[in-house]
Amino acid sequence: MHTKTLHEVKELINKKEISCVELTKSTFDRISKVDDKIGAYLQLDEEGALKKAREVDEKIQRGEETSFLAGIPMAIKDNICVEGLKTTCASKILENFVAPYDAHVTKKLKENDAVIIGKLNMDEFAMGSSSENSAFKKVKNPFDLERVPGGSSGGSAAAVAAGEAYYTLGSDTGGSIRQPASLCGVVGLKPTYGRISRYGLVAFASSLDQIGPFTKDVEDCAHVLNVIAGHDSMDSTSAKVEVEDYTKYLNQDIKGMKIGIPKEYFAEGLNPEIRGIIENGIEVLKKLGAEIKEISLPMSKYALAVYYILASSEASSNLARFDGIRYGFRAEDFEDVVDLYVKSRSQGFGDEVKRRIMLGTYALSAGYYDAYYKKALKVRTLIIQEYKKAFEEVDVILTPTSPTVAFKLGEKSNNPLEMYLSDIYTVPINIAGVPAISIPAGFVDGLPVGMQLIGDYFKEGTLLKVSHAFERETEFTKVKPSI
Amino acid sequence: MEFEAVIGLEVHAELSTKTKIYCGCTTEFGGEQNTHCCPVCMGLPGALPVLNKEVVSYAIKAGLALNCEINKETYMARKNYFYPDCPKNYQITQDETPLCSNGYIEIALEDGVKKVGIHRIHIEEDAGKALHREDGTYVDFNRSGVPLIEIVSKPDMRSAQEAKMYLENLKAILQYTEVSDCKMEEGSLRCDANVSIRPKGTSEFGVKTEIKNMNSFKAVEKAIEFEIKRQIEAIKNGEKIVQETRRWDEVKGETIVMRSKEEAHDYRYFPEPDMVYLEVDDKWIENIKASLPELPEMKKARYINEYGLPDYDAGILTSSKALAGYFEETVAKGANPKDASNWIMGEVLRTLNDREMTIEDIKVKPEDLAKLIELINNGTITGTIAKKVFKDMFETGDNPEKIVKEKGMVQISDENAIRDIVNKVLDENPQSVEDFKNGKTKAMGFVVGQVMKASKGKANPQLVNKLVEEELQKR
Amino acid sequence: MSVTIKDVEYVAKLARLEFNEEEKQKFTEELNNILGYVEMLQEVDTDGVEISIGAYRVVNALREDEVKPSFDREKMLQNAPDSQDGYVKVPKVIE
């Protein structure tokens, strides 16, 4: 059962071949069987999940109409609030924080009768590219337990890959959905900035963060997006753009669509085997009738620098609220209130979080603001302009998702800058705010490789259209880890 | 060397909105601690701010009333600092793009009207309230997120007196426009002052100090006066003024160092990424302009031109919205504007001041004051009696006719009755009669006073004058 | 621009963090590495370029001035490490 997709189990439920309670129980069985090895979950809510599953079964029995997501087990990254459950952000500082409210996406999922089975492991406060920065335990890649699942939404990606949930939610600030999706062989979508409300997502970098789904295939992605996308009056940055039925983009012909290949993304530093896989992917799309066009995005090389300034600066401010006063970890043995702040934060945050807070605080401090932050905001404008211009010429831009396959645990954890380079292909997309999806495109030595498709603002549908055509042609999403 | 002071004021006024600036919690004053709170104003993880439209409208209204330019495109900014009453450890405010800028307030000086410039007005959120008790600091976040405007003046004031006048006029304008109720005791109006001195006639600025913790206009005046004196003395003693923040100690009557510039904050302002641009179009501004009430200056001019009131009186009457309202209501109920003004400027304000009360507290209804004036003008009571009647009205809130009737205070205008009293007084004061005959006309005044006294103030003064003179001539 | 240990100490103080000498040394090096990398932005000509607050321009996300019920105090204080009489309690702050 655990290898089936969301739409496959939906069909079984519709045919009454399985009940939601049975499906939920089988998912918890799967978790108890494999999660000791994977480490995807930080918290499980079996009671709540079964209660919900029972409710949905009753609804179905009464012949009531139910949502596509009704009764199907799913899980949420631990930086998104679910009322009554802990939201730890995989940080000691929020170890015991019980969310007193639901995030907007959580509310939407609950309204659609989703069965929320638990909260997923991640890099602390979503800062990292390997999920090794969790304060509690490391997540392992289901394809190779000695390797990382990517990050920061490593738990969200690994849970879907290992059949521990039918779909999950993650968040993406610089690649945190797409890079782990690539490394774990699943589909991960970062929608347009503002497509999904951030209300209830614990902010890392407000102007870059976006929630998105992890699914087993592209079809599932469209179904989940249908539910969680849309305007929310509680998030000022949420877009008032109408939500389409994204499933209408499935099973479509892509003949004549223009696909741009930015030459800067295929330069040195790209693993040659990965290059081969992506070039293969390009051939597949060409065969399906797409027009391939080489383009140039020269500003992309500045994106990572812009990212580290903006993301760290915003983070330094966003994370100021974790101070041991109103909630969260409070150190013992402090002398006064300043000492309470310093000790609680120094003991409560991990190294990577501290590093970014330090960088961000420095970049915003008196005398440096113009040279770093303001400069980065201006270069951001140029990057945005470049993407806008590119989309006047092409429908979709195609790149690798990650320059490497899943690396070994500990391999990069001593070199922050090298770790940061894992995001080199994903970061520019967050700077521009456009949507991008990572879909399985092949394997190198049994390890998954993802292909990134980037779309124009609010053109998630176009991404799904091309991705689904690719998926039908290649069936890489059908390959499962042996765990 | 003669010195002059350079003073700038930063005023925080709480806006009269129903809800907080970034969430729907009520702004009502005095709720039980931490009951007007939600994830947004408590700074919970994941909560996001959404700007209250009415806050923008009020700030624009204040800007227009204070002669400011309205900046059509602005954005919010974060000001980062750690303090237990600041739930996010940053305040969402405006930095590089204030909503309003370049306005002024007029103050009336002896040698004419002076314009005190307003540098900027921006919108921001208030912090919670920290209560410092023996065993710790207790924080209540009900006030966290209450909308404020900060009004920053230009360094245009030259004395504590000017600063006080600026504040009084500012308060009147904010109250007239109903932008803020300006209750200092509830913290809805707060003021910090920047003070420096320089040799008179020079144009460079001296090193300034910032003074905080002044809880009344009087405190502002006293604190600035003290600070000017302190700085002048320091300079005269060869000391240097240090840029620092000082707090006013009301009990000691002096300013005390809080923190020096070295410890000053590095606020790390940057554009608030959780919010979007604020665009104000002409239509929005025009609608607010059309809704502006008559402002103090306009009202004052009208009182002078229409009612013929002296400049000073018109200024006092328009100094608060409530006082002007009281005056206008009295006139509307039939009183002659000059009489109404004289009474309010005289008995009404004097009695209120004596009791440390304001016009809002008065029991005397405007229609009763108008009636009292009528009773004088139609000769029912004398001016002297009227003052007594007013005292009764002030205490009881009763109407003047009732008081006059019950206490038998009606004026005596019967010539014969008065003539009897006059003759009785002249009989008892032969010396005065003698003096009058010897050409000392002053003696007549004495006699008139005695007659008024004998009539318990009820005799018609004109008649008394006339009859005293007649009877004296006869003798 | 090169970061010194003194800068690290200043920034740590602003950020309410503390480090031992070894950590200070490490952070100084790491910050210098990262800042060395981002130095490349200085080569971009941004004269006359406007700043971007957010990925695209959004204006006037405004709310009507309508009161919404506040949260139960109990819920708001359930995560507070120290609360008393409905207040959040902290060590005495001396002003």
Domain residue ranges of chain C, discontinuous segments joined by +: 5-42
Question: What burial letters (b/e) apply to A374-392, b meaning 16+ CB within 10 Å?
Answer: bbbbbbbbbbbebbeebbe
Interchain contact B75–A (C-beta under 8 A)? no
pLDDT at B264: 63
The arithmetic mean of pLDDT across residues B460-471, rounded, is: 85
- The answer to whether residue C70 neighbours chain B at the CB level (below 8 Å) is yes
| Chain C nearest CA to A374, separation (Å) | 7
* Two structure tokens written together for A452: 């990134």
Q: Which of A321, A344, A362, A415 to mutate to test the interface with C (most CBs of C within 10 A)?
A: A362
pLDDT, tens digit (0-9, with 9 covering 90-100), for B359-379: 988 999 999 999 999 988 887
- Tell me: the pLDDT tens digits for A350-407? 999 999 999 999 999 988 999 999 999 999 999 999 999 999 999 999 999 999 999 9
C74 interfaces chain B, CB cutoff of 8 Å: no
Please answer yes or no on whether A345 and C58 come within 8 Å at the CB atom: no
Distance, in Å, from the CA atom of C20 to the CA atom of C3, rounded to the nearest integer, reads 17
Closest CB to C91 among B24, B83, B137: B137
In whole angstroms, give the CA distance from residue A144 to residue A150: 12
Q: What is the ipTM of this complex?
A: 0.96
Which residues in chain B are contacts of A373 at CB distance < 8 A? 270
- Please provide the distance, in angstroms rounded to a whole number, between the alpha carbons at the two ends of chain C: 36
Rounded average pLDDT over C2-25: 95
Interface test with B, best of A88, A234, A336 (most B CBs within 10 A): A234
State the residue for tokens 């040394």. C25
Q: What local confidence, expressed as pLDDT, does residue A42 receive?
A: 98
Is residue A256 within 8 A of residue A292, CB to CB? The reply is no
Predicted confidence band at B445 (pLDDT cuts at 50, 70, 90)?
A: confident
**Is C15 an interface residue toward A (CB < 8 Å)?**
yes
Q: In the predicted model, what is the mean pLDDT of residues B270-293? A: 96
The tens digit of pLDDT for each residue in B130-162 reads 999 999 999 999 999 999 999 999 999 999 999
Q: How far is CA B146 from CA A317, B77, B188, C62, in A?
A: 21, 17, 10, 16
Q: What's the distance, CA B366 to chain centroid?
A: 20
Residue A340 DSSP code: H
A193 touching C (Cβ < 8 Å): yes
Please tell me the total number of residues recorded for chain B in this structure.
Answer: 475
Residue B260 pLDDT:
66
pLDDT of residue B189: 93
Token digits of residue C72? 């139960």
The answer to whether the Cβ–Cβ distance between C51 and A362 falls below 8 Å is: no
DSSP secondary-structure letter at A408? Answer: B
- Among A98, A237, A338, the residue with its CB nearest the CB of C54 is A237
Residues A326, B47: C-beta atoms closer than 8 Å: no
Catalytic site residues of A?
A: 77, 152, 176
**Count of all residues that appear for chain A in the document:** 483
With contact defined as beta carbons under 8 Å apart, do B40 and B145 qualify?
yes
Confidence of residue C90 (pLDDT cuts 50, 70, 90): very high
Q: What is the pLDDT of residue B407?
A: 77
Whether chain B has a CB inside 8 Å of the CB on C55: the answer is no
A361: its two tokens: 């605080």
B277: nearest CB among C57, C77, C87: C57
How far is residue B475's CA from residue B434's CA, in Å, rounded to a whole number?
A: 9
In angstroms, the separation between the Cα of residue C12 and the nearest Cα of chain B is 12
pLDDT digits (tens, 9 = 90+) for B394-422: 999 888 888 888 877 777 778 888 888 88
Contacts of A304 in chain C (CB under 8 A): 37
Residues 26-65 in C contacting A (C-alpha not used; CB under 8 Å) = 27, 30-31, 33-35, 37-38, 40-42, 44, 46, 49-56, 58, 61, 63
Cis before C2? omega within 30? no
- pLDDT band, very low/low/confident/very high, at C1 (cuts 50, 70, 90): low
- Measured between alpha carbons, how far is C8 from C31 in angstroms, rounded to an integer? 9
H-assigned helices in A330-480 = 337-348, 351-364, 375-393, 416-420, 427-432, 460-474
B-chain residues near A326 (CB < 8 A): 42-44, 87
Does the beta-carbon distance from A416 to C34 stay under 8 Å? Answer: yes
Give yes or no for a contact between B296 and B176, defined as CB atoms under 8 angstroms apart: yes
**A337 and B CB contact within 8 Å:** yes
Per residue in B427-442, pLDDT (tens digit) is: 988 888 888 888 887 8
Q: Measure CA of the first residue to CA of the last residue in chain B; give whole Å.
A: 70
Contact B140 C68 (CB under 8 A): no
Spatial separation of the C-alpha atoms in residues B148 and B17, rounded to whole Å: 10
CB pairs under 8 A between A and B: 100
Decide: B271 and C51 in contact? Cβ < 8 Å.
yes
Q: Name the CA radius of gyration of chain C, rounded.
A: 23
Closest CB from C51, C53, C90 relative to B136:
C90
Average pLDDT by stretches of 10, chain A with 483 residues: 96 96 98 98 98 98 96 98 98 98 98 98 97 97 98 97 98 98 98 98 98 98 98 97 96 97 88 95 97 96 95 98 97 93 97 95 92 96 97 98 94 80 93 98 96 98 98 91 90
User: Is the per-residue pLDDT at B219 higher than 90?
Assistant: yes
Per residue in B250-279, pLDDT tens? 999 999 998 766 566 899 999 999 999 999
CA A314 to chain centre: 19
Nearest to A312 by CA among A350, A367, A354, A341: A354
Q: Residue A77: in which H helix or E strand, if any?
A: strand A73-77
Chosen from B25, B34, B44 to mutate, greatest number of chain A CBs within 10 A? B44
Residue A340's closest chain C neighbor by CA? C91
Is residue B213 predicted with pLDDT exceeding 80?
yes
The pLDDT, as a whole number, for residue B70 is 98
Dihedral pair phi/psi, residue B93, rounded to 5°: -145, -160
The verdict on B80 touching A (C-beta cutoff 8 Å) is yes
User: In this predicted model, which residue has the larger pLDDT, B455 or A403?
Assistant: A403
A114 and A105 Cβ atoms separated by less than 8 Å: no
Q: Which residues on chain B are in Cβ contact (under 8 Å) with A236?
A: 48-51, 274-276
Taking CB atoms and an 8 Å limit, are A374 and C1 in contact across chains? no
User: In A144-301, which ranges are continuous DSSP H helix?
Assistant: 154-161, 178-184, 218-228, 272-287
Contact call for B82 and A99, based on CB within 8 A: no
Query: How big is the CA angle at B226 (ends B225 and B228), to the nearest 5 degrees?
Result: 65
* Any B CB within 8 A of A309 CB: no
B77 contact residues in A (CB cutoff 8 A): none
In degrees, to the nearest 5, what angle opens at C-alpha A230 toward C-alphas B125 and A212? 95
- The pLDDT tens digits for B59-103 are 999 999 999 999 999 999 999 999 999 999 999 999 999 999 999
Hey, are the CB atoms on B19 and C68 less than 8 Å from each other? yes
Give the model confidence (pLDDT) of C61-86 as tens digits.
999 999 999 999 999 999 999 999 99
- pTM (2 decimals)? 0.90
Question: How many angstroms away from the CA of B396 is the closest CA of chain C?
Answer: 40
Structure-block tokens of residue B441: 């006309």
Buried b (16+ CB within 10 A) or exposed e, A183-221: bbbbbbbbbbbbbbbbbbbbbbbbbbbbbbbbbbbbbbb
Mapping DSSP to helix (H, G, I), strand (E, B) and coil, where does residue B30 land?
A: coil
- pLDDT value for B262: 56
Considering only residues 321 to 340 of chain A, which have any Cβ-Cβ distance to chain C shorter than 8 Å?
A: 323-330, 334-338, 340
A-chain CB neighbours of B89 within 8 Å are 320-321, 323
Q: Quote the distance between the C-alpha of residue A138 and its chain's center.
A: 17
- Look at residue B261 in the predicted model and tell me its pLDDT: 60
Of the candidates A176, A189, A174, A191, which has an alpha carbon nearest to the alpha carbon of residue A457? Answer: A191
% of chain B surpassing 90 pLDDT: 65
Tokens found for residue A146 = 């000695």
The helix/strand count (H/E) of chain C reads as 3, 3
What does the pLDDT read at residue C95?
A: 56
Average pLDDT for chain B:
91
Residue of chain A whose alpha carbon sits nearest to that of B22: A234
- CA A69 to chain CA centroid, Å, is 19
